[in-house]
Homo-oligomer: A and B are copies of this chain.
Amino acid sequence: MENKIHGVYLVTDRPLCRTHGLAEVVELSALGGVSLVQLREKETDSREFLELAKHLKKILTPFAIPLLINDRLDICLAAGADGVHLGQSDLPWQEARRILGNNAIIGLSLETKEDYHSLIETNPKPPLDYLAVSPVFDTNTKTNTKPAWGLEGLKWLRSKTTIPIVAIGGINESNAETVVKAGADSIAVVSAICSAEDPKLATEILSKKFHT
């Protein structure tokens, strides 16, 4: 699964998909070369969340792009999605691995260096598909986050682990390249694609940062 964690990673935000709507943004990003999509819904009831997940899975399957679900293992199981993204307040990753099995993609957000230390104390070689540096820069999309890691923090984590790293938070066209150079295998974006006038073009431009 490690080869899946590279390039541009889209985290969805329906309110930000003003111009195109969620499904169209996801399809355009797929056409633009996105490598992973995470469906993130915080206020939606389970039935609607499942319907959205099934719809996105259908869109992404022909592209062989994995769909991850934020937090909700049950939605992942019911929708036949490829895995989950877990934050520090979500279910423990050990439970997710036990419930979803070895083939699921499971990523964990680290908000601080302490989060990394606790993780490694529990399990020196955690069976996680990626660690997310969250947020790498300050962002308006998520407001309840701890201080940003910055490029130095990202480099620090890169020096500590061989687990693929996803950087998220405040990444856009102008800073994406420095994030990749600092060691991120993947850059996760929300508004840079969801709010883009042309989500396909936005994805293409971000994807090129991995080939320079």
Interfacial residues, chain A to chain B (CB-CB below 8 A): 45-48, 50, 71-75, 77-78, 88-92, 95, 99
Contact = CB atoms under 8 A, between A and B. Distances in A.
Contacts of A92: 47, 50, 78
A47 B45 CA distance: 18
Contacts of A73: 73-74, 77-78
24 contacts: A45-B89, A45-B90, A46-B71, A46-B72, A46-B89, A46-B90, A47-B88, A47-B91, A47-B92, A48-B89, A50-B91, A50-B92, A50-B95, A72-B74, A73-B73, A73-B77, A73-B78, A74-B74, A74-B91, A74-B99, A77-B95, A78-B91, A78-B92, A78-B95
A48 to B, nearest CB: 7
Contacts of A88: 47
A47 B78 CA distance: 20
Nearest to A47: B89
A85 to B, nearest CB: 12
A75 B74 CA distance: 8
Given A46-B72, A78-B92, 17 more contacts: A45-B90, A46-B71, A46-B90, A47-B88, A47-B89, A47-B91, A48-B89, A50-B91, A50-B95, A72-B74, A73-B77, A74-B74, A74-B77, A74-B91, A77-B95, A77-B99, A78-B91
Of A72, A89, A91, chain B has the most CB atoms within 10 Å of the CB of A91
A74 B47 CA distance: 14
A73 B77 CA distance: 10
A160 B8 CA distance: 54
A194 to B, nearest CB: 23
